[in-house]
Amino acid sequence: MHVLIIYWSATGNTKKVADTIRDTLVKDGITPVFKIVSDAAAEDLHSYDLVFIGAPTYQWQPPEPVLKYINDRMDYYRKTNGIKVGAPKVPGKTAVIFITYSGPHTGIKEATPAGDYLEQFFEHIGFDVAAKWYTVGEFHNRLEMSTKGPLGDTRGRPNQQDLQEIASKASALIKKLIA
Ligand SMILES: Cc1cc2nc3c(=O)[nH]c(=O)nc-3n(C[C@H](O)[C@H](O)[C@H](O)COP(=O)(O)O)c2cc1C
């Protein structure tokens, strides 16, 4: 199985999740290609069976470098007739979205639009989106945002338990896909 993991991370939370997915896959015998989005422009997504994309949420969207990556890819697929009416599935192509968020104002609702946005990209290019994973992350250098919001004290997250959950989900997904 060919697997690509691409992500962007400013303060390390999303990178921790990406690293956990990579390490889990390696334990399960798969060596994924692992890149930050700015290095992934030349990757042909359809040459992979499984693509993971990860980002934090900024104002309920992926941050600018991730939006730029998606916009560039959409331009490419439009020019090469890769965006088809009805978004037919390309057989055997699966994507997983992973989002980290701090949720200081409205909790996970600040993250789901970013996940839905990335899901739409993959559905437009014919991928089946198998899962969207949302992981709480500390809002670094913003104490009030990390302690007074609806999620309580998020300092130190994603913590071991958060990452263990990601590892379990990644392992289960791989087993399901190769079954
Ligand atoms: C500029 C900026 C804007 C952010 N906006 C939001 C937001 O609107 N909602 C939210 O839940 N978290 C927000 N966050 C928190 C991040 O989404 C969260 O801490 C994330 O886990 C950071 O990921 P990273 O460490 O991989 O960069 C924001 C963080 C930054 C730096």
Query: 57-74, pLDDT tens digit by residue?
Result: 999 999 999 999 999 999
Amino acid at 40: A
Please tell me if the CB atom of residue 110 comes closer than 6 angstroms to any atom of ligand 1. yes
CATH 3.30.1490.190 corresponds to the domain 3-178? no
Distance 88 CA to ligand 1 centre (A): 33
Q: Examine the pLDDT at 151 and tell me if it is beyond 90.
A: yes
Using a cut of 0.95, tell me whether the model's pTM lies above it.
yes
pLDDT at position 157: 98
103-149 pLDDT per residue, tens: 999 999 999 999 999 999 999 999 999 999 999 999 999 999 999 99
DSSP string, 42-108: T--GGG-SEEEEEEE-BTTB--HHHHHHHHHHHHHHHHTT---TT-PPPTT-EEEEEEEE--TTTGG
Question: Which tokens is 164 given?
Answer: 């263990």
Confidence of residue 179 (pLDDT cuts 50, 70, 90): confident
